[in-house]
Structure formats: C-alpha cells, structure tokens
Amino acid sequence: MVGHFQEFEDEYLEMMYEFHEKEPGGMVRTGDLAAKLDVSPASATEMVQRLAARGYLEYIPYKGARFTNAGLVHGQKMKRRHRLAEVLLDILPYEGDPHATACRLEHAIDDDMEVALSRLITPETKDPSGREIPQPTPDIAERLSKRSSSVSLMNLDTDTPATLSAIFMAADEAQALDAGGFRIGSIIVRTGPNSFVAEGQEAILSERWMNCVFVEILNDTV
C-alpha cells in the first residue's frame, strides 16, 4: 500500500507541474486538479492537504495550492521521467499505448536510470508529442556533466574508436546494421557528422539510428 500511495502522490505532483508549465508559481484550484486527475474534489483536497503537510505544496483553503521549492523539484523530476519514458518507447519497436506505459514506467525510474535515459536520448529536448522535456534537477544535472564511457553514436567524437555495446531498434533494422558491420563487439569510428566505419565498412546513418546505437569508448579515462 505504501508503494501505491507514493505513486498517487507522484501523480498529483506531476499534474501540478503541468499547471506550473502554463503558469509558473500560479495557484491551482483543487477542482481543476481533480478534473485533470479524474478524481472527486474531496479526494483532491485531501491529497493536497497531505502534500502540504509534507512540505511539497502551499495550500490556501478556497483558493488552491502551489508548489513549494521541494514540490517543484519533485514534480519536475516526475514529469521529466515520464517524458523520457515516452521518448524511449518511441525509439523502441513498441506497439502499445506509450502514454499509459510511460505512466507506469516513470514510478520505476530511479536516479541511475534517469541518468542512463538522459544519455540515451540526447540531444532530444521534446517528447514524441512535441512537449518540452523538463530540465534535469540539479542533482541529475551534476551527474550528467561528468563524461561517460558509454555514449550513443550521436555523441561519439570524431576519430574516437569505440566498441558497439547496444542496439535499440526493430529486428529488421538491426539486421541491416549487422550487414554493414554494426554488430555487438564491432569497432566503430566516426569519420564525419553522419558517417562511420564499422569493421572496415563505411556507412552513412540517420540521426534516429545514431540515437539507437550505443558504444563503449576505448581507452577512455572517465
């Protein structure tokens, strides 16, 4: 029950962040929050009061609620994780409902996974629906500022040798890459903005494919 209740809190703070995107610092009426979450006004008021008691919201009876600094950080983090999950599902050959699945995934994404997803989808700044992906919170931004030995082909420096470690795409696309020398364990070198050499074979890749292929940089000192 504790886990489920935490998810309810996350959903409220995430929805509060959507209101914040439209009117930063504005008051949100509990009736509007209830309508967006498809819950009763009484349930929304009870949860808002609980979140206020925990320091996430400032609640003024009959006027509504707005974020405290702590609430804004949490709401921003949850919305970012949701939209990162939607981008991931868009990259994968996923045929289900991406929004509903992202709603479930966001609660399972911890800081380590958020860092990994952030590196995976760079340089995307919007989700598949065109909505801005919130900036990382300061703790995540600090970790992202440190170089990782695992990068997508999109972020591989020119003339830097690397070993192909992961491919996130449909089987038929992966087979096409395999035929061009792009397979797990292959040595990859970037020779231009969209050009690479894999096992002695030259290839031009689209930006989408470059974002779907990950490599481990050789002789890297992270």
Q: What is the pLDDT of residues 117-164, one digit of tens each?
A: 888 776 668 899 999 999 999 999 998 887 677 888 988 999 999 999
Please say if the pLDDT value at position 221 is more than 50: no
Handedness of CA 74, 6, 38, 113 (dihedral sign): positive
Contacts of 158 (CB under 8 A, 6+ apart): 190, 191, 192
- Residue 164 β-bridge partners: 215
Of 67, 99, 117, which closes a domain? 67
What does the alpha-carbon distance between residue 121 and residue 144 come to, in Å, rounded to a whole number? 13
pLDDT in tens, 64-116: 999 999 999 999 999 999 999 999 898 887 889 999 999 999 999 999 899 88
What does the alpha-carbon distance between residue 193 and residue 66 come to, in Å, rounded to a whole number? 45
pLDDT in tens, 170-218: 888 888 999 999 999 999 999 999 999 998 899 999 988 998 898 988 8
| Domain enclosing residue 156, as ranges | 150-217
- Quick one: 27 and 59 in the same domain? yes
Helices (H), 23-137: 30-37, 41-53, 69-91, 98-105, 111-121
pLDDT of residue 27: 97
pLDDT of residue 219: 67
Residue 39's CATH number: 1.10.10.10
Please say if the pLDDT value at position 2 is more than 60: no
Query: How many domains would you assign to the chain?
Result: 3
pTM to 2 decimal places: 0.74
